Amino acid sequence: MNIKKEHSIIIPLILVIVFTVLVYIMISPGIKLHSQDSTVTYNTGYESNTVSAKVINLIEEGQTDLGGTLQNYQVFDVELVEGDFKGSVLTVDYGLRQILGSDEKIKEGDYILVTVGQRPDTGELRAFFTDFVRSRPILYLFLLFVLFSVLISGWKGVRSLFGIAFSLLIIVLYILPQILSGKDPVWVSISGAFVFLAVSQFLVYGWNLKTHSAVIGIFISLVLTGLLSSFFVDFTRLTGYGDENALFLSQMSTQTINIKGLLLAGMLIGALGVLDDLVISQASAVFELFAANSSLNFGFLFKRAMNIGKDHAAATVNTLVLAYAGASLPMLLLFSISNQDPAMLINISFIAEEIVRTLVGSIGLFISIPITTAIAALLATRHQKYPWIQKYFGPDNQWEQSHHH
């Protein structure tokens, strides 16, 4: 029995070591790049920087007319709490120079972001309101997210948090540095996404055949979606410059960045969260059906699981479309009130990008269902005939060994 247990952990142990080495190799250039940039001061403009400041005194408030718009304004003193001029007290106005998006009022004790500039001739410091400091509310929201994750999902929720952290680590220390260094964004995104999704899957769901099915399905779906994205981006003649952020990035970066490739990478990463959910749900459905009736053959099991997958896919694609539509709601409203011809609008680059992004991502999700279902059904119906599969690759569906025979 001990020998059997020793054999059962050999493959996972080897893979953990290999993955650890692989991840270190992947992120080491990013770590080196960030360590080199740690001494760099990032400024918002020439002879100016944006820092946090505390409101210490309200001087004046009232109403003003800006281009026919009547709005409230405030004037107050702030103390800079960071930066080269930390401790300086400056006067800032809010609502006197720019039209405000809301009636939000600033109170004493609030922390805000201000842009500080120094006149080159007199050395006089001036500060302008930039935005609110939102770090604390976002921290509270994150802690609430962690609380609900642990309360609802238990240890799986804890493991999923580690998976999220690892995913962000790969994105920040591998995908972004590789793209900035001029590497192909598509294959960088595919390799990075596969690594962090595979690790996340094994962290949350354990070393078992269900997870293996999902990971293999993810890899094949990622490659096919990447190829599909590349074809249709070329076919629709998209350049990636439909997003003004891409134009700004190409102007600001000292590196030559493949903007079209960046668009492709964004399409892949945008669909990952939904793809992750879809493939693991489909693999789980297959193994649960087989656990309920182990006499099912491959064809019947595949057909039954596909019935579940069809329903799940329809809802998932709807989720993906609504997510993109929600992000583009201001743009859609703008075109609605301007009474533009829809047939003309779909030719505009940034609208075409969203359409291609949504459709390619949805096709990728549809492709993942039969692929994952077939892999899971094959493993479910064949693993009992080959004991070495469970010996080295774990039980069929749960953390503990399967009890059906």
- For 120-152, write each residue's pLDDT tens digit: 777 788 898 988 999 999 999 999 999 998 998
List of E strands, 33-123 = 48-66, 69-80, 89-94, 111-118
CA 232 to chain centre: 23
- 222-277, pLDDT tens digit by residue? 889 888 988 998 999 988 887 777 777 777 766 777 788 888 888 888 777 778 88
* pLDDT for 405: 40
Say what the pTM is: 0.71
Tokens of 210: 């269900």
pLDDT of 299 above 80 = yes
Taking only the tens place, the pLDDT of each residue in 370-390 is: 999 999 999 888 876 666 566
Q: How far apart are CA 126 and CA 41, in angstroms?
A: 20
Nearest to 372 by CA among 227, 215, 222: 215
- What's the rounded Cα separation, in Å, for the pair 303 and 313? 15
Q: Which domains does the chain have, with CATH numbers?
A: 50-133 (2.40.50), 145-393 (1.20.1640)
Please give the single-letter amino acid code of residue 13: L
Residue 320's pLDDT is: 73
Share of the chain above pLDDT 90, in %: 18
What pLDDT digit, counting tens, does each position of 307-329 carry?
888 887 877 777 777 777 777 77
